[in-house]
Chains A and B, each alone.
Chain A
Amino acid sequence: MTILSYIFLIIGALFFLLGGLGVFRMPDTFNRIQAGTKATTLGAFSIIVGVLFGSVENHLDWIPKLIIIIVFIVISNPVGSSTIAKATYRSKNIPDNLIQDDLKERGEKQ
């Protein structure tokens, strides 16, 4: 169990590192949102799963709290990133090389 929890913790830390690197390296706002939220969602998810496996032996009462934290992160991260993306679109700060613009076709004003 302990080795399994360590494996998940290392995977989570790796994804956090990649997410932070992506925020620095990506060219425009949409790509940065992609790196900053998708990678860190998976990172936080696997770190909490690692803690969950680690707490099976000693701290059984932590498990419901950890599951609630997982639900919170899984819901709040996509909602926040979509809201930031919408705000970026409305602030007219979009990149020039956009191939498809679905929101414009649906008649949303910028």
Chain B
Amino acid sequence: MTFFDFLSIVVGVLLLVIAFLAINSKKLINSVLFLSALSMLAVVAFVLMKAPDVAITEAVIGSGLVTSLFVFTLLSVREEKLK
């Protein structure tokens, strides 16, 4: 078993566990944060498979922009509930 196989097994199992948590968690904000962690793990998978361009793009977009869009949606809703 090579080092690549070992790393890919670890990354694959973590991907599945975090995806299950993201889909099944009760609070919406936890689900969004698990989605962010999932895209960071996807960056590791892209680097493992020698795709640096895709890894940079996913790191910028998946961790920052998509998460911020989800959080802004949840924030606007919570403010309206307070009023």
Asked whether the complex places CB atoms of A and B closer than 8 A, the reply is no
Q: Which residues of A pack against B, CB within 8 Å?
A: none
